[in-house]
Structure 1
């Protein structure tokens, strides 16, 4: 299981995802990005040329978010990866949804086997956490794990598209966008409403629209995460902890955190202190409980 590094923010305000607090006590200069304008969606529903234009406009908006490097970008990256892993499991006809993959990632002890879908998820997390120029090194491992499955070529094509996109845009780390939308009903085409496949010649018919659907979904998720991060920052201001913002940095770095894993890494002296930190924020609605297991709990933005 890979270990997500804890970011070292320049200031506590940056770790909490906010600008300096104004006189009213509310965060000044919100970091919440604006939703995509409606005209972009209208353009994407037109012909192929307009769909390409819409994809480019949406990509510009997403690129601005990525380049601003918000503190919650780690959550966005991890949830896109989780979605891609759930799609891979579905393509391979494995019974592993996002909740099961999340549990396997965060609750499996080091050295234990998380299962076939869990291993794919771990490899995808490596791809999405490595520098773009090195992320492709994981693809041969992914191909070996798929062992010649009929969907191997398709899934690898989707990952390669994301790596090419990240390289062209100069992103330091890739976002896994394409895989998460292959089952989207909006992409079905032809008289029989077939699902498009990236390894087939007819992929070009829907490729621009697929990119638009992927980017717009990612952008909408970014807007939601930014709002949640701001609410979390406001709630955390009232907590008296000795973690110096490292607890929040852990929350903002990944899809989910287990309190017992925060001990030491986030400056909490005990498992009880870490649990109290998460439970208090969850009670205030600033964190979400992502699993209802009585003994192992996961929290996230």
Structure 2
């Protein structure tokens, strides 16, 4: 277990021996472990640097080990700090590269995948994503799972899907899975193009919108990034959070006349009578009703009444 946290076999043996007997000295360790004295002393110094061994207040020149659980926590924290430092170095390298190269062509699906993974691993603040289409292949979702999980644990993630994914149980389930991990997911009919924006500095768009297999263009021009971000925010503002009913489902946008007409017709009134009650012409009643039936996806007025009641419009 300690080996997976960065301790070599000798360091593990020395630390374990001192956990078992804190008073053991260099000579005893040399004999017990069958190692050269210089190697033992070097290992003790390394364990002190890792804070797994500390100077003893009771024995002058002696050392004592921190408890195993505390030691493991120290090693985990050290690995996390090293990983963060490496990530910062990679991000700095990419930033320097971006200053030299404002755009990069990623040709082919493999190159695009590698490019997206590199961008995601270096994200520091926020990742914005637009995913068009009514469904996403399960294999693609599975391949993205690990990266999406890591990303959501580090930065803010906002994802826009096309509204039609409501009909795809697999994609919706994946969206809920992301939301459980902290990502924000919304649906909109305006999501017609694929887009990824990382930290407000880099954007990835398809070279050919309708042929994603051709490749992608990775751009870093501030003016272009600003325009693409503004587009994302515009769509995001009007999008519906995953799990919330769409505007058509909730009845948003229904006028008082629409609602009143639905109630009158549900009560069995004819077009002419409903028109008189509303103070409009029968022709207008028929036009409004045709629009409502279209919104409800109904082929008859009876079906429209049933669907309107189901959605709570009445």
Q: Fold match, TM over 0.5?
A: no
TM-score (normalizing by structure 1):
0.23
TM-score (normalizing by structure 2):
0.22
- Of the two, which has the highest radius of gyration? 2
More strand by share: 2
**Higher RCO (C-alpha under 8 Å, 6+ residues apart):** 1
